[in-house]
Amino acid sequence: MSVNLLDFDAEGLVAWFAANGEKPFRARQVLRWMHRSGVADFDAMTDIARSLRDKLKAMAVVLPPTVISDRLSDDGTRKFLLDVGGGNAVESVFIPEDERGTLCISTQAGCALDCAFCSTGKQGFNRNLSVSEIVGQLWQANRALGIMHGDERIISNVVMMGMGEPLANFENTVSALRLMLDDHAYGLSRRRVTVSTSGLVPAMDRLRDECPVALAVSLHAPNDSLRDQLVPINQKYPLRELMAACRRYLEKAPRDFVTFEYTMLDGVNDSLAHARELLLLVRDVPCKFNLIPFNPFPGTTFKSSGRDRIRAFSDVLMQAGIVTTTRKTRGDDIDAACGQLAGQVKDRSRRTATFSVHFQDVKL
Ligand code: SAH
Ligand code: SF4
């Protein structure tokens, strides 16, 4: 079977070339063709000798996941559904803003962590995405945005906030991150690539040591008893340990703060008392807060906090000197908002998915 060269980071590609008797600089040339120029056809790699091109054609492919659908929202948000085989599909979302263009990508088909308010979690877990499937979302978005052969950078930021828990797919996530950072591939700055985690403490330490990038942590509750219910992984890594891991991460992080994500759930975690409790919790962790109005999906009983309640909550944090933003809901006409990414997942875990959402069928 052919090897998919999109599954290698730079080091892996050099090693594969070496194993096949080829020099490191050849690997870097191919890396640039694949990732910087978006070329999948070896014959189009014009500065590679014909003999090497023929050899590559016989042994390898450049195969990103296929785009099944590509939908544009009224606000410019664009959502891609990608086929990852076996009846699974994952989503990525491009969000244009004035100063930057952010691509939100997925790292798993489904998610095993089952947070109470997350559509992906409710679908169950199928499998980890491969490196080519993770980085292939960037490859395909670049192509769709029409920037494959130019130098113009439309995607300036990548956030791993799509489907799945990136740190539960550690190796592939890190290889994909390395490609995003590599000057021969996507050349993004560490500060502009963000991993979002629900709090897998040992993996946060590994990320810090192996590939520190900007970090977002999904907090959603100020105390263990509430967080145990909303984010079940908290039962394994409670808040004390999570806060300590955040502090350790900051020793090597490219930014000097952690972003805490906090989904605003009406009557659940959104009182002023909760906000004040948060201040105590994070007092030793340099941080910013990003409040996310809950995005509903079929079958959920949660509701988003109202605008006034979110403002009052935000004010408590701001008055204590914590920079707090409230996420604008983008792309909700195409179900591309946070936590609504559903794709299509065949649950292979023991837990049976309570339902499975195929986004084309969903009309909220
Ligand atoms: N698994 C990672 C990254 C993906 S989710 C994590 O949990 O951090 C990205 C963010 O959206 C997380 O903070 C997640 O908790 C939040 N989220 C999930 N479902 C949501 C929903 N329905 N409405 C608003 N935010 C949601
Ligand atoms: Fe998984 Fe993140 Fe959803 Fe929790 S919020 S179920 S960790 S994708």
Please provide residue 264's backbone torsions phi and psi, each rounded to the nearest 5 degrees: -85, 110
Q: 91, 133, 165, 261: which is the annotated catalytic residue?
A: 91
Considering only CA atoms, which residue is closest to atom 12 of ligand 1? 218
Q: Ligand 2: distance of its center to the CA of 110 in Å?
A: 9
Q: How confident is the model at residue 173 (pLDDT cuts 50, 70, 90)?
A: very high
Which contiguous run of DSSP H or E holds residue 19?
helix 10-19
pLDDT above 80 for 38:
yes
Encode pLDDT of 115-165 as tens digits: 999 999 998 999 999 999 999 999 999 999 976 545 567 899 999 999 999
CA distances from 359 to 110, 166, 172, 257, 340 (A): 14, 22, 26, 35, 9
Separation of CA 13 and ligand 2 centre (Å): 31
At 301-341, the pLDDT tens digits run 999 999 999 999 999 999 999 999 998 877 777 766 665 55
Instruction: Report residues whose beta carbon is within 6 angstroms of any ligand 1 atom.
Output: 115, 117-119, 161, 165, 196-198, 218, 261, 263, 292, 294-295, 338-339
Q: Tell me what the pLDDT averaged over the chain comes to.
A: 91
Residue 118 falls in the annotated catalytic set = no
Distance of CA 165 to CAs 151, 168, 314, 316, 363, Å? 31, 5, 26, 30, 26
Q: Kindly report the number of other CB atoms within 10 A of residue 59's CB atom.
A: 12
Report the chain's C-alpha Rg in angstroms: 21
Q: How far is the CA of 169 from the centre of ligand 2 (A)?
A: 13
Q: Ligand 2 in contact with 164 (CB < 6 A)?
A: yes
Give the nearest ligand 1 atom to 262 CA: 13
Q: Atom 4 (ligand 2): residue with closest C-alpha?
A: 115
